[in-house]
Amino acid sequence: MDQALFQYLLRMGDTTLVLSQRLCEWTGHGPVLEEEMAVANTALDLLGQARMWLTLAGEVEGQGRDEDALAYLRDAPEYRNYLLVERPNGHYGDTVARQFVFDIWHYLLLDRLQSSSDERVAAIAAKSIKEVAYHARRSSDLLIRLGDGTPLSHQRMQEAVDDVWRHVGELFVDDEITRELASRGVAPLHESLRTAWQSHVAETFEEATLSMPPAQEADHPAHRGGVHGRHTEALGYLLAEMQYLQRAYPGASW
């Protein structure tokens, strides 16, 4: 088994799956109907991407686990998602801030993964980036509208950005897995995405009249570890809800 590739596929699949579940929590609670529908569609896009990554992960593992087994029959320490996406939704501005910083990183990563030496990875990236391009445009527009809106919306968006910032650094940390895959041309070094990400985020923040938090706030080591199975308690509650039916009725099918 290609252990490095398997672990990386879990990171991609788990991250999109967990964020999809988080966004689904807005169903029935969105601020306006149009936004509720847009969030639900984004969640469905991410779920579809998660299915592709986890299906490929199961094939690479070669242990007979499909996308459902990987999604529903693993406990929190076995998940490899970034801590950013398991954060509780908070108010809508918090969700927008989280989505924005993630979307820009996600788009840049998929853009590079389209050139992966692994044709299967490249194909998933090429299909996913079309959806993520829309996600990035939408979250950027929302961030600008709320940041450059009323004094109250500006204040709350700045607080949301300051709060989410401490979880950004993990997205750009390279370890033995990303370094090995980069040496094989399968995936880029995540640190190589940082400059383009910072440039785009800075431009959007300026248009939104928001201040970018200090760089060191994004690199606190206490807010890393998700890709190695070290999670916050928030993930346990999320998985308990997401996995309930399969755990209560093992092997159930429609």
Count of alpha carbons within 13 angstroms of residue 45, beta-carbon side? 19
Domains identified in the chain and CATH numbers: 3-248 (1.20.1260.10)
d(CA 90, CA 160): 9
Q: What is the pLDDT of residues 141-156, one digit of tens each?
A: 999 999 999 999 999 9
d(CA 49, CA 43): 10
CB within 8 Å of 129: residues ≥ 6 apart: 107, 110, 111, 114
- 95-110 burial, b for 16+ CB within 10 Å, e for fewer? bbbbbbbbbbbbbbbb
pLDDT, residue 35, reads 84
Q: Check: CB of residue 26 under 8 Å from CB of residue 70.
A: no
- Does residue 198 carry a pLDDT above 70? yes
The band of 218, judged by pLDDT with boundaries at 50, 70 and 90, is low
Instruction: Give the mean model confidence (pLDDT) for residues 101-115.
Output: 98
CB within 8 Å of 25: residues ≥ 6 apart: 89
Q: Which two tokens stand for residue 208?
A: 């939104």
Q: Which two tokens stand for residue 9?
A: 């596929």
The band of 32, judged by pLDDT with boundaries at 50, 70 and 90, is confident
